[in-house]
Each structure stands twice: as C-alpha cells, then as structure tokens.
Amino acid sequence: MSDQARAVFVISVAAELSGMHPQTLRIYERRGLIDPFRTPGGTRRYSQEDIERLQLIQELTSQGLNLEGVRRVLKLQEENRRLKRKLDRLRDRLDDIEEEVEGRLADVHRSYRHEIVLRSQLRQVLGDES
C-alpha cells in the first residue's frame, strides 16, 4: 500500500489522536522525528504508523528524554528493524543452502552405495571366474 493511501489524517486529527498540539507535530517534523506524507498541494497527511510514532515520541519525552535522545532511540529502533530483516533473509538463505547441501550429500551417499553394489557384484563375478 502506498504512503498516500495509508496517510489519511490531517494534522488536526493526527494531533488529537496522538494527544499533542498541531504545532508540536510541526516541530517534530522540522527536527526530523516524523515525516508525514505531503499532498501535491503541500498538506500534511499522517498514517496510523505516524500516529504510533508520535505516541512513542510522547512516551519517551514523558520519561525524560530530550528530542535528541528521542531521535537517537528512533534511529536505533530503525537500525534494529533493518538488521532483523537482514538476519531473517540470511537465515532463509542459510536454510536453502542447508537443504541443497543435504540433497547433494544424499546424492553422494546414493552414488557410493551404487559403486559398492557394483564392486561387490564385480568381485562375485571375478571370484567365480578365479
């Protein structure tokens, strides 16, 4: 879903939903803590994700963090999400590689059994002729 489709709340509604004053949302945007979608006319539109981010900012500031501290927490959370996505991709890739290796190993074991059977049959034939 595009940002435009998800971003449905105008600033007054977003402020009310997040329990903040609209000017506070503008300050947070200037400080880079929030980045609402902008319509072609320049109107801010907030998504539910933006509202949840604003609520987190409010929670962090009420616990004593200043806006720079909040910015760092938000940056660390995003880095954590990015690393988790990367770890998930790597785990999926590792699972695929393990499956491939197990398949190849099974093929090798089957070929050994085939060789053993052929050699034992050859020994029987040669043993019979000796």
| CATH number of the domain bearing residue 13 | 1.10.1660.10
Q: Tell me: the pLDDT tens digits for 17-75?
A: 999 999 999 999 999 999 999 999 999 999 999 999 999 999 999 999 999 999 999 99
Indicate whether 88 belongs to any domain. Answer: no
Indicate whether 31 belongs to any domain. Answer: yes
Indicate whether 38 belongs to any domain. Answer: yes
Indicate whether 6 belongs to any domain. Answer: yes
- Nearest of 78, 82, 30, 23 to residue 53 by alpha carbon: 78
Contact status, residue 32 vs residue 2, Cβ threshold 8 Å: no
Please give the sequence-ordered ranges of beta strands (E in DSSP) within 1-130, or none if there are none. 37-38, 44-45
Indicate whether 94 belongs to any domain. Answer: no
Q: Which domain holds residue 51?
A: 1-64
Provide the sign of the torsion angle of the four alpha carbons 17, 22, 23, 27, taken in this order: positive
Indicate whether 121 belongs to any domain. Answer: no
Indicate whether 30 belongs to any domain. Answer: yes
- Nearest of 42, 71, 45 to residue 56 by alpha carbon: 71
The average pLDDT across 64-88 equals 97
Look at residue 1 in the predicted model and tell me its pLDDT.
55
Number of domains in the chain: 1
- Band of pLDDT at residue 6, cut at 50, 70 and 90: confident
Indicate whether 130 belongs to any domain. Answer: no
